[in-house]
Amino acid sequence: MVEMPKRRDILAIVLIVLPWTLLITVWHQSAITPLLTIRKACHHLVKEIFIIPERLAARRHRLADDGAEGRHETGQGSDSKEYCSSDKDIVEVVRTEYVYTRPPPWSDVLPTIHVVTPTYSRPVQKAELTRLANTFLHVPNLHWILVEDAQRRTPLVSRLLRETGLNYTHLNVETPRNYKLRGDARDPRIPRGTMQRNLALRWLRETFSPNSTQPGIVYFADDDNTYSLELFEEMRSTRKVSVWPVAFVGGLRYESPKVNAAGKVYGWKTVFDPHRPFAIDMAGFAVNLRLILYKPQAYFKLRGVKGGYQESSLLRELVTLNDLEPKAANCTKILVWHTRTEKPVLVNEGKKGFTDPNVEI
């Protein structure tokens, strides 16, 4: 007789408490789902990244007040990254707040990505650099090395760089003009951007010592391509040279390194001269800064380079095929597109120019 009521009581208590515990758990979970995916080992790194300034904290409060609506709004502009220096793998965490801090706060543990961009004056230059900056403003620890093909650093670029708030270095070197040709043509024997990229390499070698502890990655990003944010996180773990597919090059949907079952690059999936030492586009590889510093003689060859062999001229001084690290899910995902911007038709400007030249475009 005593047993029965006891069991019943327990059952009753359980059934009473159950719905409330479920409710509380579910609410709790949905509120902290963004943080749940962070692995414990990387907790100390998370603190580095989630430094949220006051106004953001205030915004967070407002979202919490909105309750249900707030949930929907955190979907906006979400992108937070998390890094474990222990195993070099990047874990992508969804949801962020710091998108409104441009650029993200600098971290002492993340390898810096030095992005080398050669650029030259033409009508679309400011537009290209603007949207490139909008991309880079999402990437933590990015250092933009912008090298102008010009005799002097132009005010347009100087102002643009300053206003973005990015960490940058502004260089310039002019590709010698071939005065023998009619007009203001540059020396056609030197592929475009070569001198500028080489200047950046030289600057890096002069600025950083091989013994420096801050790790870095060097990436050559032309100003008209399109880069996904995921790409930068893939390249951050480069030990020597990492490679990945690039869309819209070589007359194909994409060109890609060939990766075998062991995860090693053994060839190139291209139609245009696949027997080049490195049949890859400039946007398809990144080099560890240490490697650049250890091999101070490695530069892009200036003259006598056959079309498509520019990248090989640098890479063959740095690595062998065997050392290449395939990224982007073993080179099966497209994370960068070799887009090209049309030259705008300015017919209505006429000879003297119709628009106010003081208005910067």
Binding residue for other proteins (CB under 8 A) from 162, 177, 239, 253? 253
Name the one range near other proteins by CB under 8 A: 61-69, 181-189, 258-266, 285-293: 61-69
CA nearest neighbour of 14 among 6, 26, 25 = 6
**Segment 77 to 106, residues that bind other proteins, using CB under 8 A:** 77-79, 94, 96, 99-100, 102
Which candidate in 97, 255, 311, 325 is catalytic? Answer: 311
Chain residues 278-297 in contact with other proteins, contact rule CB under 8 A = none
Q: Which residue has the tokens 């090209």?
A: 340
Instruction: Kindly tell me which residue out of 44, 57, 66, 274 binds other proteins, with binding defined by CB under 8 A.
Output: 66
C-alpha span between 329 and 322 (Å, rounded): 18
Taking each helix axis from N to C end, the angle separating 125-136 and 155-164, rounded to the nearest 10 degrees, works out to 20
- The only residue of 218, 247, 259, 283 in contact with other proteins, by rule CB under 8 A: 247
203-222 residues near other proteins, rule: CB under 8 A: none
- Whether the upstream peptide bond of residue 19 has omega within 30° of 0, thus cis, is no
- Tell me which residues in 22-41 interact with other proteins (CB under 8 A): 22-23, 26-27, 30
Among residue numbers 320 through 349, which ones bind other proteins (CB under 8 A)?
Answer: 332-334, 337-342, 344-349
Q: Which residues pair with 226 in a beta bridge?
A: 337
Catalytic site residue 230? no
- N- to C-terminal Cα separation, the chain: 91
Does residue number 276 form part of the binding site for other proteins (CB under 8 A)? no
Q: Which of 44, 55, 61, 72 binds other proteins (CB under 8 A)?
A: 72
Least distance from other proteins to the Cβ atom of residue 213, Å: 31
Residue 133 CA to its chain's centroid (Å): 11
- 298-317 residues in contact with other proteins (CB under 8 A) are none
Distance CA 28, CA 34 (A): 12
Q: Which two tokens stand for residue 274?
A: 């696949």
List b or e across 204-218, with b for residues whose CB sees 16 or more CB atoms inside 10 angstroms.
bbeebeeeeeebbbb
Q: Does 62 bind other proteins (CB under 8 A)?
A: yes
Q: Out of 16, 32, 36, 262, name the contact with other proteins by CB under 8 A.
A: 16
The catalytic residue positions are 311
